[in-house]
Amino acid sequence: MERSVCNRNCWILGAIAGVVVLLFTSGIGELGLAGGLFLGLITFALFGALMVWLVCGTRPDLFEGDDGMTGLDWEREAVEHQPTAMLVSASLGPEPVTSATQMPIMAGAMPAPRPTPAPVTASELQPDDLRRIKGVGEKLSVWLNENGVTRFDQIAAWDDAAVAEFAHRLGRMGGRIEADDWVGQARLLARGGETEHSRLVDRGEST
């Protein structure tokens, strides 16, 4: 489409927009015909000029020189005269970051996590001399050790169910658990206390 034909069409559209504004504004409020005509002319001028500028491509003319070159021609010529190295680097994009340019991670920069100590079980503690409990002789002490009971605090923690279970496992000797109050003695000995029987065992006068 030639420039003149494009300009004419754009101004026709501007005129149509001005007439539409005139029709909508004339008679509304106090504007009247004169006010509507004024707004229509302004719409015609602004809309027509805007359409010519957008549609007919008049912007490249601003860069047109004496030799008839437009702005696009200037841009194309500038690209053709750029050094080859610049064109190659532009096509390759930004230089990737290699491991040599990255900040090295220094050994020891972050402290190694400290290992969590494993919980100490009752079997790993120093066993107590269970013979210090009245009613527990040499054979019962060995039997309790073989069944995982090696300390006073274990017997001190027995509830009724545990007492009944060990009494059942001991058979006819199971009644001595409650008769001699093993749990009460164990609680006292676990706190570091003594009984008359424990003092005899400590002196080697009872086994």
Structure tokens, 123: 């079997």
Assess whether 52 and 76 both reside in one domain. Answer: no
Same domain, 144 and 184: yes
Do 13 and 47 meet the contact criterion of CB atoms below 8 Å apart?
A: yes
Based on the domain organization, do 74 and 52 belong to the same domain? no
Are 131 and 158 part of one and the same domain? yes
Report the range out of 36-40, 52-56, 125-129 with the highest average pLDDT: 125-129
73 shares a domain with 35: no
**Residue 16 belongs to some domain of the structure:** yes
Residues 186 and 168 in one domain: yes
**Residue 115 maps to a domain:** no
Q: Is residue 99 part of a domain?
A: no
> Contact at 8 Å (CB) between 136 and 147?
no
Tell me, yes or no, whether 170 lies in a domain.
yes
Question: How many independent structural domains does the chain possess?
Answer: 3
Asked if the model's pLDDT at residue 201 lies above 80, the reply is yes
Q: What is the pLDDT of residue 124?
A: 61
Q: Do 195 and 147 share a structural domain?
A: yes
Same domain (yes/no): 37, 85: no
**pLDDT at residue 120, rounded to an integer:** 53
- Domain extent at residue 8: 3-57
What is the reported pTM? Answer: 0.42
State whether 152 and 178 are in the same domain: yes
Cα–Cα distance measured from residue 45 to residue 35, given in angstroms and rounded to the nearest whole number: 16
Residue 120 counted as domain residue: no
**Could you tell me if 53 and 72 lie in one domain?**
no
Q: Based on the domain organization, do 30 and 75 belong to the same domain?
A: no
On the question of pLDDT at 60 being above 50, the answer is no
**Buried/exposed code over 49-59 (b: 16+ C-beta within 10 A; e: otherwise):** eebbeeebeee
Q: Is residue 112 part of a domain?
A: no
DSSP 56-87: S--GGGGG--TT---HHHHHHHHHHTS-HHHH
Q: Considering the domain boundaries, does residue 148 fall inside one?
A: yes
Residues 178 and 130 in one domain: yes
pLDDT-derived band at 143, boundaries 50, 70, 90: very high
Question: Is the pLDDT reported for residue 101 higher than 90?
Answer: no
172 within some domain? yes
State CA 135 to chain mean position distance: 61
Residue 177, pLDDT score: 93
For position 153, what pLDDT does the model report? 96
Q: Residue 5: in which H helix or E strand, if any?
A: helix 3-25
Q: 57, 77, 102 — which closes off a domain? A: 57
